[in-house]
Structure 1
Amino acid sequence: MNKDEKLRRLSTGIPGLDEILGGGMLKERAYLVRGGPGTGKTTFCAHFAKAGIDRGESVAWVTLSEPPGRVKESTSAIGLDLSKVTFLDLTPGPAFFRDQKSYDIFPPEEVESAPLAAKIRDVVEKTKPTRIVVDSVSQLQFLSSTPQNFHKQLLSLLAYLTSNHATVLLTSEASPQAPDDEVQFLVDGVVELEVSANDRHLRVKKWRGSEHSAGWHSYQITRTGLQVFPRLDPQREPREFPLELISSGIPALDELLQGGISRGTITLISGPSGVGKTTLGLQFMKEAASRGERSVVFHFEEARRTIIGRGERVNIPISQMLEQGSLELKRIEPLQFSADQFAHMVREEVEQRGTKMVMIDSVAGYRLSLRGNDLGASLHALTQYLGNKGVTTLVCAEVEKITGDFQITEVGISYLADNIIFMRYFEAGGQLRKAIGVLKKRLSDFEKSVREIEITRYGIKVGQPLTSFSGILTGTPEFRGSSS
C-alpha cells in the first residue's frame, strides 16, 4: 500500500482486522458491524473509538441501547478507556417508564425524530468528530413506521455525518424482528460477526472502494478486547530463497536423501508411535542450530519436559539450543486454538522472529484444532505459506499399525509433501528393529533402499542398506542372505 492510500485509511484498532480490510476503513464513509447478542459489536466499536482517541481525533458515540456509564465500565475492564469520547445518550431513561409516555395520537417518528436529529446535529457541530459510533441503528428503525421512512431518515443521517468529514460506524442486531437489509444497502462496508458452538468467526460481506480478504476469519474476545486471526493466504508475500540442500547431520541419512532435503520444502515423517519421528525432526533442527538458524516445534501431544529429556538422552542438546534461542518448543492445546489462530502463531514465528524451520508434531493433534474444518485445505494453506517464505517444514504423521500393510498416513495428506521419509518397525531374529527409507523427493532423485536406524545415547545411527531382507515394510521380513 502506498503512502497516499494509507492517508485515506483509518485503523479499526483491532489487531488483525486492518489486514483483512486492506489497510482499514476509508475516511468519511459509513460502515456497519452486525451480529447477534454477545458477538462483540460494542467491543468492536470501542476499539474503533479508542484508535481515534489515540490519534488525537475527536470521537462521538451515539448510544440508543446501552447507557454511556455501562459502556465505559465494560470497555474499561478490557483496557479500552473511552473517557475522552463524547457520548450522546439517547437511551430511554427511568422517567420514560415512570411517566408512562406513549404515542397515542401521533406516530412515534413524528414525536422523536426531530429532537433526535437536533441532538445529533448539536454534538456534531460542537465536537466536529472524525469518527462517530451509532449503537445501535436497530433502535432507530423502531422509530420509523415504514421501511420507506427509515430508508429516507438513515440516508439523510449518513449523508449529513459523512459530509461533515466523519467516518461512521453503525451496529445492528440483525434479528428477524428488525432486519437490517436497508442498512446494508446504504453503507459502504459490512462486517458480520458470528458465534458458533466451537468458535467465533467474522467476514467482510461488503467493502466498497477497496480490496479485502473474503471468507470467514476467526476472532476472539480476550482480556484486552477483540483480536482477529486472518485466514492464511498461502501466496502471502512470496520471496526468493536459495535452492540449497539441508543436511541432517547423519551421513548415511544424507545418502538416502542424496544430500539432504531442499530448503523451503515440506517433509512428511511417517511412522507408528515410538519409532523416532520427533527425534529425527529434532536432528534436522540440531543441524540448523549449527548453521545459526532458528527452529520451532509446535507439539500437540507430548509435554515440553518429555521432548527435552528425550533429546538430551540421544545427544541432541535441546536445553542449550533453547538457551541460545536457536530452538523454541511451543505446546499447543488443540481444543483451545482454531486453525486460523494456529496459523497466526506460525506467522509470528516466521515474520517477526525469522524462524527457518518449523515442525508440526503431529498431524493428529493439528487435526483436533481444526474444529470441523477441512484438514487437507488448512494444512495445504499453512505449508504452502511456509514454503513461499523459504521455511523448511517437517510434519510428523503417526500411523496406528506397527506391522502389516504399509501406510504413509491415515488422513490422505501425503500429496502435500515434497519429501516423504518413512520409519517402520520390523521383527528379525526375535528382536524388534527399526527401518528408515525415502518414498518421495520431489526436487531430486533419492536412494531407493531401506536402511536400519537405531536411536542411541550417542545419537541417531543409520546403517547400510538392508539387502539381506525382503518384505521389511510388512513388518515381518524374510531373511535372504548373510546376517545384516
Structure 2
Amino acid sequence: MAADIETETEPAPDYSGKAMLGVLGLDDVLSGGFVRDRLYLLEGNPGTGKTTIALQFLLEGARRGERGLYISLSETREELLETARSHDWTIGDLITVYELIPPESLLDAEQQQSLLYTSDLELGEATKAIFEQVEATKPARVVLDSLSEIRLLAGGSLRYRRQILALKHYFARQGTTVLLLDDLTADALDKTVHSVTHAVVRLDELAPDYGAERRRLRVLKYRSQRFRGGYHDFCISTGGVRVFPRLIALEHKTAFVRNQLGSGVIELDALLGGGVEAGSSTLILGPAGTGKSLFAIQYVLAAVARGEKAAMFIFDEELGVLLERTRAMGFDLAGLRDQGQLTIEQVDAAELSPGEFAHLVRCQVDEARAKTVVIDSLNGYQAAMPQENALILHVHELLQYLNRQGATTFLTVAQHGLVGDMRSPVDVTYLADTVILLRYFEARGQVRRAISAVKKRTGAHEDTIREYRITGTGLRVGEPLRNFQGVLRGVPTLVKDQALLDSDQP
C-alpha cells in the first residue's frame, strides 16, 4: 500500500496589498488581484461576462469594508440590479450604482444632446458628473461602464486618449482602484487605452459547431507584475464567473513512494511485470467492445480494496448503463459511490470546456484525495477540444500533474476499425508510462480477444500476447498464446502442429 503523500509546500505569497476581484480562479491568474490605486481595463464583446466580473469586483471590496461605485453609461440601474439578483447578490450600502444619464432625460426635449452628439459640452458634462459622484461617495473601487460611450463622445482618437489620461490622473490622486469596461462595439482596433492602463484583461467567447458556447480570458499585459499567461477557460453560472486557470504541472510538486499496484487479476499483473506503479499513467488502446472500460474498472476496484479513493470520468457511456452492466458482473460501483470510496462523473463534452474538466479532476485529487483516476475515453475528451494539438498539450499537463500528485491514471482510447489495421483518432502513446493493447482476432470460427503490453517505462513487462475473455463475473486472462502468430493483425496462423487449447477458460 502506498505511503501517504507529503506535499512540498512553499510559503504562501503575500497578496495583502492587492485588491482581490473575488472571482474564483481569476485572482490566481492575476497573482492575487489588482495593485491598488491603478487603472485597469476589462474588454470583450457583449455577453462575455464583463458586468458580472465588475460586480464581483465591487462586492469583494464591500466584503472587505471598501466602498464601491458603479458608473453606468450603457445600462440602467434596474438592469444592473437585475443582474445582481440573478446571481443571488445583494447590493449593500457600500456599493453605489450611478446611472450617468437617467432614462427620463432621454425623453426630455431640452436634454436630447446627452449622448446623441459629440460636442465639447457633452463630454465635459459627463466628466464633471463622474467627478462629482466620486467626490460625493469617496469610493475605494470604481467601475466605469463602458468606454464605448466615452469614445463616441470624444469623437476622435487623440481627444479620447487625453480624456482617459485625465481620468487616470484624477483617480490616482483619489487613491482609487478603477476598472474600465469596454464592449468593443465602437472601434475594436483602437488600442488607445491599452497603453494607458496598468493591466488589460481580454474576454472571448467561442461558438463551436455544436454544443454550448465556450468562454476564455487572457491577460494581455500587467505592468511590473507576474501573471499566469495564456488562455484560461471560464464559465458564468449562478453565483458569478468562475475561471479555471491553465494547468501548469511544474507548479505542483509532491513526494511519494512509487509502489507497485496490482489489479487483482494475477495473469494481468504478470503481463505487466507485477502491476503498474503509483504515480504513473496507463493508456488502454483497442477497438470498440474490447473491454477497455472493464480493464480500467478492475484497477479501480483494486484501489478501493486497498483502502484508497478513486475517481472515474465517463465521456462516452451513459452512466446508468455502466452501473447496470457492471452490477451484473458483481461490481457494485453505485454502492462504492454511495459509501464515498468512488466518485463517478458523467462528462458531457459538448457542455464542458477542457479547462473546467481539468478543474474537476484536480478537485478529486486535491480535495477528495483520489489516488486512482480513470478518463474514459480520450475520444470524448477530444470532442471538447478545438484542435488535436491542444488536446495533446492538455493531456500532457494533466498527466504530468496527476503523476506528480502520486495519482495512478488510466486513459482509454477507442481505435477505428475492428480487426487488422487499427487507427487512433489521436496518438498519445508517447505520453503514457504504460500502454496496453487490446485486439480482436479470429480463431476456429470465433472472434476472440487478445491483450499485450507494448510499453512500460517503469519496469519490465512480458512481451507475450495473452487471450482474455469477458464473462459474467468479469475479466479472465489466460496464458500466453505461444502457438500463434499474426494475432495483432486479426487473422493468426498456427506455427506448430498443435491445436489451440480449447476450453472454457482462455
User: Which TM class, normalised by the smaller chain length?
Assistant: over 0.9
Give the equivalent residue in structure 2 for 1:483: 500
Give the equivalent residue in structure 2 for 1:271: 286
Give the equivalent residue in structure 2 for 1:292: 307
Instruction: State whether residues 435 and 455 of structure 2, in contact with CA within 8 Å, keep that contact through their aligned partners in structure 1.
Output: yes
Give the equivalent residue in structure 1 for 2:449: 434
Question: How far 1:135 sits from its partner (Å)?
Answer: 0.8
Instruction: State whether residues 151 and 186 of structure 2, in contact with CA within 8 Å, keep that contact through their aligned partners in structure 1.
Output: no
Alpha-carbon distance in 1 for matches of 2:138, 2:405: 46
Question: How far 1:92 sits from its partner (Å)?
Answer: 5.4
Alpha-carbon distance in 1 for matches of 2:152, 2:478: 79
Q: 2:14 matched to 1:5?
A: yes
Give the equivalent residue in structure 1 for 2:24: 15
Give the equivalent residue in structure 2 for 1:86: 96
Give the equivalent residue in structure 2 for 1:318: 333
Q: 2:227 matched to 1:217?
A: no
Alpha-carbon distance in 1 for matches of 2:13, 2:240: 30
Give the equivalent residue in structure 2 for 1:353: 368
Local SS of the residue matching 1:409 = coil
1:183 to 193, 203, 226: 193
1:400 to 416, 420, 443: 416
Alpha-carbon distance in 2 for matches of 1:390, 1:3: 22
1:165 to 159, 166, 175: 175
Instruction: State whether residues 100 and 130 of structure 2, in contact with CA within 8 Å, keep that contact through their aligned partners in structure 1.
Output: no
Q: 2:175 matched to 1:135?
A: no
Alpha-carbon distance in 2 for matches of 1:75, 1:247: 52
Give the equivalent residue in structure 2 for 1:307: 322
Instruction: State whether residues 141 and 178 of structure 1, in contact with CA within 8 Å, keep that contact through their aligned partners in structure 2.
Output: no
Give the equivalent residue in structure 1 for 2:33: 24
Alpha-carbon distance in 2 for matches of 1:250, 1:408: 28
Q: 2:230 matched to 1:230?
A: no
Q: Which stretch of the first structure deviates more once superposed, 320-329 or 146-155?
A: 146-155
Alpha-carbon distance in 2 for matches of 1:286, 1:3: 37
Amino acid at match of 1:243: R
Amino acid at match of 1:417: A
Alpha-carbon distance in 2 for matches of 1:4, 1:315: 50
Alpha-carbon distance in 2 for matches of 1:94, 1:174: 26
Amino acid at match of 1:379: V
Instruction: State whether residues 275 and 434 of structure 1, in contact with CA within 8 Å, keep that contact through their aligned partners in structure 2.
Output: yes
Amino acid at match of 1:316: F
Local SS of the residue matching 1:121 = helix
1:33 to 42, 67, 73: 42
Question: How far 1:468 sits from its partner (Å)?
Answer: 1.8
Change (3 A) 1:327 1:364: same
Alpha-carbon distance in 1 for matches of 2:492, 2:156: 82
Q: 2:207 matched to 1:197?
A: yes
Local SS of the residue matching 1:366 = helix
Alpha-carbon distance in 2 for matches of 1:211, 1:421: 42
Question: How far 1:108 sits from its partner (Å)?
Answer: 5.2
Instruction: State whether residues 244 and 356 of structure 2, in contact with CA within 8 Å, keep that contact through their aligned partners in structure 1.
Output: yes
Question: How far 1:21 sits from its partner (Å)?
Answer: 1.1
Percent of pairs identical after alignment? 34
TM-score calculated relative to the size of structure 2: 0.89
Local SS of the residue matching 1:155 = helix
Alpha-carbon distance in 1 for matches of 2:37, 2:371: 43
Amino acid at match of 2:293: T
Amino acid at match of 1:55: R
Structural mapping, 1:51-90, within 5 Å: 51-84=60-93, 85-90=95-100
Amino acid at match of 2:394: S
Give the equivalent residue in structure 1 for 2:255: 240
Local SS of the residue matching 2:416 = coil
Question: How far 1:188 sits from its partner (Å)?
Answer: 0.5
Local SS of the residue matching 2:192 = helix
Amino acid at match of 1:119: A
Alpha-carbon distance in 2 for matches of 1:149, 1:319: 66
Alpha-carbon distance in 1 for matches of 2:474, 2:121: 84
Instruction: State whether residues 52 and 131 of structure 1, in contact with CA within 8 Å, keep that contact through their aligned partners in structure 2.
Output: yes
Q: 2:431 matched to 1:416?
A: yes
Report runs of 4+ in structure 1 exceeding 4 Å deviation: 1-4, 100-104
Local SS of the residue matching 1:425 = strand
Change (3 A) 1:408 1:36: closer
Change (3 A) 1:450 1:46: same
Q: Which stretch of the first structure deviates more once superposed, 207-216 or 277-286?
A: 207-216
Change (3 A) 1:343 1:415: same
Alpha-carbon distance in 2 for matches of 1:190, 1:58: 23
Change (3 A) 1:34 1:3: same
Give the equivalent residue in structure 2 for 1:125: 135
Change (3 A) 1:408 1:328: farther
Local SS of the residue matching 2:362 = helix
2:394 to 360, 363, 378: 378
Question: How far 1:408 sits from its partner (Å)?
Answer: 7.0
Instruction: State whether residues 52 and 241 of structure 2, in contact with CA within 8 Å, keep that contact through their aligned partners in structure 1.
Output: yes
Give the equivalent residue in structure 2 for 1:425: 440
Local SS of the residue matching 1:435 = strand
Local SS of the residue matching 1:37 = coil
Change (3 A) 1:160 1:320: same
Gapped regions of structure 1 (runs ≥ 5): none
Local SS of the residue matching 1:47 = helix
Local SS of the residue matching 1:231 = coil
Amino acid at match of 2:225: S
Instruction: State whether residues 12 and 25 of structure 1, in contact with CA within 8 Å, keep that contact through their aligned partners in structure 2.
Output: yes
Amino acid at match of 1:383: L
Q: Show CA shifts across 1:120-175 (max 9, x none).
A: 33333333211111111222233335433332332222222133221110011224
Local SS of the residue matching 1:143 = helix
Change (3 A) 1:410 1:99: closer
Local SS of the residue matching 2:169 = helix
Change (3 A) 1:99 1:408: closer
After superposition, the CA RMSD in angstroms is: 2.3
Local SS of the residue matching 1:7 = coil
Alpha-carbon distance in 1 for matches of 2:155, 2:188: 12
Alpha-carbon distance in 1 for matches of 2:379, 2:392: 12
Q: Which stretch of the first structure deviates more once superposed, 453-462 or 92-101?
A: 92-101
Change (3 A) 1:150 1:350: same
TM-score calculated relative to the size of structure 1: 0.93
Instruction: State whether residues 34 and 191 of structure 1, in contact with CA within 8 Å, keep that contact through their aligned partners in structure 2.
Output: yes
Local SS of the residue matching 2:254 = coil
Instruction: State whether residues 314 and 455 of structure 1, in contact with CA within 8 Å, keep that contact through their aligned partners in structure 2.
Output: no
Change (3 A) 1:256 1:148: same
